[in-house]
Amino acid sequence: MPDKTTIGTLDLDTTLDSYATGLAYSSRSPLLRTPADEGLDHEDISYPSSDGTPLEAWYIPREGSTKLIVSMHAFTMNRYGLPAHLEPWKSVFGPGNDTEVDFIRDYRILHDNGYNVLAFDFRNCGHSSAANGNLQSNNRFEARDVLGTLAYIRSRPDLASMALGLFARCMGANATFRAIDTDPRAFTDVRCLVAPLLLSPRAFLETALQRDGLGEHADEVDRRFRLRTGASLSDGTTSRWAPSVTMPTLTYGVRDDTLTRPSDLEDAFAAIGAAEKSMFWIDGTPNRWDGYQWFQRHPERILDWFGTHLG
């Protein structure tokens, strides 16, 4: 996607192509930290997605614990997070979203509160393998990585019997929702889900275009996206897959998030099929990155959710 400060110097056709290409193709960000930076012992592991794509991950053991949290990252990120304090990532999402996202701090909190953690890179992200011509669908291909991760956990005797919860952010949540819809039996032993910052690709596009004075071109960008991927951005709408999500689910978002609109998360929450579900807003900031960093700053509510459902 183009930097909004330069759109005026580009012709419209190039600008719309930039949006479509940015949403269609993965742009890898580097892993700048490992669990060792937070003093955490870990295993570097690799296993196949459900379609055979090799995935790279960390397993962070907590001695004596029988509870496991699987951590999933957002679009453009990886299991470490995102070096948005550095170029070129610093310029992509605008002021306020130009600070480092470091999920290693989340793993430290989970570990210290009695959880084993498995954090993996989706295909075309971090150190996981390239697949599907480097296309990034936000859920269609990535759902296979969620299913492959669950299969790997069940293949390991030391992990298979653990109480299992999922901490899936943004794209990770979208991929999880679609994976549940695709193969609900694979989730029968998943006790709960924390799915913050739900975001539909079409809502993200429309918000970005409106911010840059190009709101009337959303359908044209979607058409160009489909020419690259064979799918519409609307196919990734989170509420489409949410009715299949029946385990206890907690979600939250930044109410004034400049990268989306509140109704997108509200619609997704309303559509979640779980009898037990909860949602809260983060107020006082327009920065989505404050949502990604919320757990490490205010872990109590999320820890209570995991504690209630994982024992």
CATH number at residue 50: 3.40.50.1820
Higher pLDDT, 5 or 293: 293
Residue 7 reports pLDDT greater than 50 = no
Which single residue is written with the structure tokens 């592991």? 45
Lowest mean pLDDT among 56-70, 89-103, 161-175, 216-230: 89-103
Cα separation, 112 vs 63, whole angstroms: 11
299-304 contacts, C-beta under 8 A, 24 or more apart: 299/109, 299/113, 301/250, 302/167, 302/194, 302/250, 303/109, 303/113
Tens-place pLDDT, residues 214-269: 999 999 999 999 999 999 999 989 999 999 999 999 999 999 999 999 999 999 99
Domain of residue 237 covers: 4-310
Domain count, the chain: 1
Lowest mean pLDDT among 63-67, 91-95, 142-146, 157-161: 91-95
CA neighbours closer than 13 Å in the CB half-sphere of residue 308? 15
Tens-place pLDDT, residues 263-302: 999 999 999 999 999 999 999 999 999 999 999 999 999 9
Share of the chain above pLDDT 90, in %: 91
Calculate the average pLDDT of the chain: 95
> Which pLDDT score, from 0 to 100, does residue 9 have?
47
Q: Which whole-number Å values give the CA distances from 214 to 11, 41, 170, 210, in the listed order?
A: 12, 48, 24, 5
| Distance spanning both ends of the chain, measured CA to CA | 43
Residue 10 reports pLDDT greater than 90 = no
